[in-house]
Amino acid sequence: MIHTIDLVKEFGSFRAVDNINLDIAKGEIFGFLGANGAGKTTTIRMLCGLLLPSSGSITVDGLDIAKHSEQVKHKIGYMSQKFSLYPDLKAIENLEFYAGIYKVPFKKALANIRDVVDQFGLTDILSSITGDLPMGYKQRLSLVAALVHDPPLVFLDEPTSGVDPQARREFWQVINDLAQTGKSVIVSTHFMDEAEYCHRVIVMQDGREVVLGKPAELKDQHQAGSMQELFLRVLGENNAKSV
Amino acid sequence: MPNLSRIHAIAQKEVFHILRDSRTLVIIILMPLLQLIIFGYAMNMELRQVPLVVQDNALNGASRALIDAFIHTDYFQVVPLAAKQLEPQSIFQTRKAQATLSIPKEFGNSDTAVYLEIDASDPNSAQLIQNYATGIVSSFRGSVAAGIDLRPLILYNPDMKSSFFFVPGLIAMILVMICALLTSISISREKEMGSMEQILVSPVSASEILLGKVLPYILLGLLDALLILGVGMLLFQVPFRGEFVVFLLFTFLYVLTSLCLGLLVSTVAKTQQAAMMMALGITLLPTLLLSGYMFPISSMPPVLQKLTLVIPARYYLQIIRGIMLKGNGVQHLFQAGLSLVIMSAVMLLVAARRFKLRLS
Amino acid sequence: MKSLRVIASFIKKEFRQIVRSREMLIVLFGLPAVQLLVMGFAVSNEVKNLRLAFLDYDRSSSSRALVQSFNTADRFKIVPVEQDARAEELISSWQAQIVVVIPPGFSQDYLSGKGSSLQLVVDGIDGNSAAVANAYVAGVLGEFHRRNLQERRIRTPLSKPIAEVELISRMSFNPDLKSSVNTIPGIIAVLVTVTSMMLSAISLVKEKELGTLEQLLVTPVKKQQLMAGKLVPYLIITLAQLQVAIVMAGLIFKLQLAGSYWLLMLFSGIYLFTTLGLGILISTKVGTQQQAMFFSWFIMVIFILLSGFFVPVRNMPPAIQWISYFNPLSHYMTVLREIVIKGSNLGQLAKEFWILLSSGLIIFSISVISFRKRI
């Protein structure tokens, strides 16, 4: 679904993303791991067309993002790190608005998200003012809003920060189900236990790839018992190398 | 007892806020200066060179003499128009002239009337044009018996310059803008961002917070006011006839009143935007329109005249114009000062009550 | 067609947001109503109720008759004062704005036809009021003198030395010289400017601050759709406000529209391209809503001061007249006044039409370019 070659992003002399090569398949859950400032968010913002790469190329579903940004955007659902629905609209009005933006008839949009809405138990709160909802519901609603146009590709930038453990599990259940229906889901997180749910992960530091692969294989390679341990170990090795 | 070092810390933080947002700061300083210049140069009520169309049906020496009398003043200039265009209504609609003068055939031979038609869509100008024309015509006929010679003595502002009127007014404007508008915004911003809570859990007292927050604005307001005063005096030769100490005393009182107003707004408004709108609605606009800053209070309808009694700038305007232009001392301004004191006290009481209600 | 649907969902969203926010409704409809009311009554360069005091040292029947002749209309409010007061002290202590001093022997000089003089002391701090006061007093004295002459002529008919000339003046379009006739269209022009500029100036920054702009940017929304989706609602709201203002002007100030309603709407529509464009321009340049407010406020104050709202542009010095030529509000205000008061037609307003049209095109294009660049 996504293919990048030597992706680089520079802000002045600062290299935020350095030579990232990715190949993400259909139906895959792909995780971005790394500390704050490792380049996760910048990479994701480039993948969904919010930032232009300084060099390198990105193709989404066979389309070059630089040339076909319009078509690519139809294939993307994006849930930003910061809550970004209109707080003064009702929940359902937010969904209606985004359906309109994606030129999806509202009925069809509701059909697209029906399952997720049920799963999240959002049916009762749809007519509430968005700003009055508790944080957990806002987060779930953001994900739903990213799905109104049934995109084959979903980007979730730290979707579970500030959410309680129970809700986090629910979130991952939904993400899993989305992948089952054939959507590719790209998630960034700093919860290492969540990384276990990903099909593949990339660990980033200082804009560079440290390791990339399936969680189980990576743990074997580095003799780590958990993702947490793996994470600390690979970063340690990386730091030792660069010194 | 408020602790000085704490107040200092809060004030310093506020100064950082002000300096960080340099664009707003530039506007705050530039705006009054620009207004000063526009008011000083452009706000001129005198009409000059009013375009006048003359329809002379007499075409004799007397009629020419009358037209000359119009031209020789600086007030009118005659614009030529083809005969078929002489319908006053359409002349005014095309804005070719502001008045038409029609001289009848028998002019000069017997008692006659000349007709002046004035475009009164701007009634103030129309009135002035009528006054000028009346003056010209009456001096033209030359009175039979000597009339009454009016010897006007214009006190304090012999050239009747508008800058004398606006410079003190602007100072009143700036002080209320900075002290009421900016403080209310800055306090409600803290509330909105939740940083007020952060401060409230620290051992700082409410009076320390308020003092710390308002001090930088008082300073900024006074500096800006002095800047206007200086530029006004240099550029427009606005006099300062009174005592500077008296000026400072009353200005301090007015600043206090403005701050109380700002405080009151911030206890009512929930968000920055609301504070901004309310502050605009209850401080800036009334000060602009109802304080006598531009429009004389005595010309307003009685209801509005009553309303002006609760506008602090009304009293301060009398005070500052009195001090600067008339050289008034405390004895002349006592009443106005007392009104400011009473107003501050009332607002402070209400604000304090609201503040307590919120915290409990 | 699909593109229209995207814009339609924007419009729906904007209206929902506005209707839901009580503050916004107050700002959009409550505040302008109050402004129209207060300004309609307060903004007036008329000078009325001047505090007038007499110091009559003559105390004759003529001097009393002279004092009586000031007792007309609402121009003066005669304040009683101690007869041994000093004129300057009366003014310095704010008791009077004008003092007429009638010297001893006034009536004797006057009646003998020798010529007499009066001392007029005026508080000059408000230059405009002082000038008007001066003219008022001169007018009253002229009238007083005229009446006396007539009486004398009737008593002692003489052969007329020269033919008398009388000036008869007529006030076109506003015979009662009501100042609201002039200020109300001005206020409406100001309201239209303030509303459209404020709304559009805040529009984008607000989405930026909320984070919703980023969400919009990952969607396939085109920039022109985003811009249209923002501007169309503001256009509609401003025009709605204009209707309310026109109706209020008719009901409260009895101001009837002399010209064509549709011509007025045409000009307003064209003018709004300038103000909405400026607002969007501000919105793309600033970081916070507060800055947006300050900036648009700054521009508006300059626009208003140099628009001829308070003082006719003709009265200003040539350099400033030249600057105000580039002030779109000044032209829109002229148009509004001409149509409302005089019922002028498009031909008579052709110059303003071309100026407003080109200013709208230029500013709007710049804002479109800056919008595309910025986002």
Residue with tokens 């001289």: B103
Measured in angstroms, the CA of C42 and the nearest CA of chain B are apart by: 6
B166 & B307 share domain: yes
Nearest to C124 among B39, B160, B295 (CB): B160
Q: Which residue does chain A place closest to C206, by CA atoms? A: A86
B11-66 residue pLDDT tens: 887 788 777 777 777 777 787 888 788 777 777 667 778 899 988 888 888 888 88
Residues 54-73 of B with CB under 8 A from C: 66
Query: Please, which chains are in contact with A (at least 3 CB pairs closer than 8 A)?
Result: C
The interface predicted TM-score (ipTM) is 0.80
What is the token pair recorded at C138? 């001169």
Chain C residues whose CB is inside 8 A of the B150 CB are 117-118, 120, 137-138, 141
B163 & B307 share domain: yes
Q: Which of C27, C45, C48, C286 to mutate to test the interface with B (most CBs of B within 10 A)?
A: C45
Chain A residues whose CB is inside 8 A of the C21 CB are 88
B211 & B188 share domain: yes
Nearest to B332 among C93, C116, C291 (CB): C93
Rounded CA separation B323/B328 (Å): 5
Rounded CA separation C337/C179 (Å): 12
Residues with Cβ within 8 Å of residue B75, at least 6 apart in sequence: B47, B48, B49, B50, B129, B132, B136
Tell whether A234 is covered by a domain: no
Tell whether A116 is covered by a domain: yes
Nearest to C115 among B146, B157, B273 (CB): B146
Residues 154-173 of C with CB under 8 A from B: 160-173
Within an 8 Å CB–CB cutoff, is residue C70 touching chain B? no
Tell whether B177 is covered by a domain: yes
Measured in angstroms, the CA of C206 and the nearest CA of chain A are apart by: 10
Within an 8 Å CB–CB cutoff, is residue C326 touching chain B? no
Q: Which residue does chain C place closest to B320, by CA atoms? A: C125
What per-residue confidence (pLDDT) applies to B84? 62
For A71-131, the three-class secondary structure string (H helix, E strand, C coil) is: HHHHCEEEECCCCCCCCCCEHHHHHHHHHHHCCCCHHHHHHHHHHHHHHHCCHHHCCCEHH
B162 & B294 share domain: yes
Query: Please, which chains are in contact with B (at least 3 CB pairs closer than 8 A)?
Result: C
B150 and C46 in contact by Cβ < 8 A?
Answer: no
Task: Please determine, for residue A180, whether its predicted confidence score (pLDDT) is greater than 80.
Answer: yes
Domain boundary among the residues B84, B116, B141 is at: B141
Chain A residues whose CB is inside 8 A of the C217 CB are 49-50
A122 & A187 share domain: no
Task: Count other C-beta atoms under 10 Å from residue B138's C-beta.
Answer: 18
Chains C and A touch (3+ CB pairs under 8 A): yes
Tell whether A218 is covered by a domain: no
Task: Count other C-beta atoms under 10 Å from residue B25's C-beta.
Answer: 14
Q: Where in chain C does DSSP place strands (E)?
A: 50-56, 76-78, 98-102, 116-123, 165-172
C10 and A99 in contact by Cβ < 8 A?
Answer: no
Chains B and A touch (3+ CB pairs under 8 A): no
What per-residue confidence (pLDDT) applies to C361? 95
What per-residue confidence (pLDDT) applies to C45? 72
Tell whether A60 is covered by a domain: yes
Within an 8 Å CB–CB cutoff, is residue C239 touching chain B? no
A117 & A53 share domain: no
C163 and B109 in contact by Cβ < 8 A?
Answer: yes
CATH number, domain of A159, equals 3.40.50.300
What is the token pair recorded at A18? 């350095």
What per-residue confidence (pLDDT) applies to B199? 63
Q: Which of B95, B125, B143, B305 to mutate to test the interface with C (most CBs of C within 10 A)?
A: B95
B94 & B200 share domain: no
B183 & B210 share domain: yes
Q: Which of C9, C22, C225 to mutate to test the interface with A (most CBs of A within 10 A)?
A: C9
pTM over 0.90: no
From first to last of its 375 residues, chain C has per-residue pLDDT tens of 667 888 888 888 888 888 887 777 877 788 788 888 888 887 777 788 889 999 989 888 888 888 888 887 678 888 888 888 888 888 888 888 899 998 888 888 888 777 788 888 988 888 778 888 887 888 788 788 878 877 776 666 554 444 566 777 788 888 888 888 888 999 999 999 988 998 899 888 888 888 888 888 888 888 888 888 889 999 999 999 999 999 989 998 888 888 999 999 999 999 999 999 999 999 988 888 878 887 888 888 889 888 888 888 888 888 888 988 999 999 999 999 999 998 888 988 999 999 999 999 999 999 988 887 766
Give the H/E segment covering residue B11.
helix B4-20
What per-residue confidence (pLDDT) applies to B360? 44
A13 & A129 share domain: no
The answer to whether A35 and A205 are in contact (CB under 8 A) is yes
Domain boundary among the residues B141, B167, B194 is at: B141
Rounded CA separation B53/B42 (Å): 26
Q: Into how many domains does chain A fold?
A: 2
C149 and B145 in contact by Cβ < 8 A?
Answer: yes
Nearest to C165 among B117, B140, B325 (CB): B140
Could you list the residue range(s) of the whole structural domain that residue B281 is in?
A: 4-43+157-359
What is the token pair recorded at C151? 């009486």
What per-residue confidence (pLDDT) applies to B82? 67
Angle between helices C289-305 and C261-285 (to 10 degrees): 130
What is the token pair recorded at B138? 């009456």
What per-residue confidence (pLDDT) applies to B143? 46
β pairing state of B50-56 and B99-103? parallel
β pairing state of C116-123 and C98-102? antiparallel
Q: Into how many domains does chain B fold?
A: 2
Residue C116, sorted as left (phi over 0), alpha (psi -120 to 50) or beta, turns out to be beta
Nearest to A100 among C6, C20, C217 (CB): C6
B114-162 residue pLDDT tens: 889 998 888 888 888 888 888 788 777 654 445 677 777 788 888 777 7
Within an 8 Å CB–CB cutoff, is residue C114 touching chain B? yes
What per-residue confidence (pLDDT) applies to B144? 44
Rounded CA separation C97/B333 (Å): 16
What per-residue confidence (pLDDT) applies to B195? 63
What is the token pair recorded at A26? 């259909």
Rounded CA separation B269/B154 (Å): 47
Nearest to A97 among C2, C13, C210 (CB): C13
Q: Please tell me the least confidently modeled range out of A47-61, A93-107, B150-164.
A: B150-164
Nearest to C177 among B27, B127, B321 (CB): B127
What per-residue confidence (pLDDT) applies to B202? 64
Rounded CA separation C32/A23 (Å): 58
Chain B residues whose CB is inside 8 A of the C43 CB are 289, 294-295
Edge-to-edge strand order for the sheet containing A76-79?
A76-79, A153-157, A184-189, A29-33, A200-205, A208-213
CB pairs under 8 A between B and C: 305
Q: Which residue does chain C place closest to A68, by CA atoms? A: C220
B137 & B163 share domain: no
Chain C residues whose CB is inside 8 A of the A97 CB are 9-10, 12-13
B190 & B306 share domain: yes
Could you list the residue range(s) of the whole structural domain that residue A130 is in?
A: 88-150
Mean pLDDT of A45-71: 86
Nearest to C289 by CA among C164, C200, C366: C200
B198 & B237 share domain: yes
What per-residue confidence (pLDDT) applies to A154? 93
pLDDT beneath 70, residues of chain B? 1-2, 44-45, 82-86, 141-147, 192-206, 270-273, 355-360
What per-residue confidence (pLDDT) applies to B245? 92
| Topology given in CATH for the domain delimited by C50-155 | abc type-2 transporter like fold (3.40.1710)
DSSP label of C195: H
Domain boundary among the residues B95, B112, B141 is at: B141
